[in-house]
Amino acid sequence: MQPLLSTGDYVGIKEFARPRTFSFNEYGEGASTISFNNNVYTIDPDGGGPAPSFAQFNPNFNYKSLRLNAVLRWEFQPGSTLYVVWTNEKLHDEPNGEFSFGRDFRTLLRDRPDNVIALKLTYWWSR
């Protein structure tokens, strides 16, 4: 079984102020403006200045995944084998960026799984 709970909550959207430095211009400070509507940030880096405004999708995420594999191997005669593999996978993705272990795990368990069954047969031809 492979469980995965991953969350990212981004704040303070900014850009580098100058090349080869580690100083930033944070949007919403000074003359720049930032607004949020319908899960999209609209950013104007210099307010009423000449730089055009641009849109940025909300980068926050809450990703959950659970994968379960089961393998059956049966050697029905020397060198001849049948493999049956069952994979159960559940995925859930939300753009909220809020982590709550109990809520996220319960949500993952309630989701409908994708089930895959694979078969492999090998047969040894001998004299």
pLDDT digits (tens, 9 = 90+) for 10-39: 888 888 988 999 999 899 888 888 998 988
Tell me phi and psi for residue 85, to 5 degrees. -120, 130
Q: Report the distance separating Cα 15 and Cα 22, nearest Å.
A: 10
Of 84 and 37, more confident? 84
Beta bridge partners of 42: 35, 55
CA end-to-end distance (rounded Å), the chain: 42
Dig out the tokens for 56 from the structure. 């940025």
Count of all residues that appear for the chain in the document: 127
pTM of the predicted structure, to 2 decimals? 0.65
Query: By C-alpha distance, which of 83, 86, 79 is closest to 121?
Result: 83
Average pLDDT over residues 37-55: 88
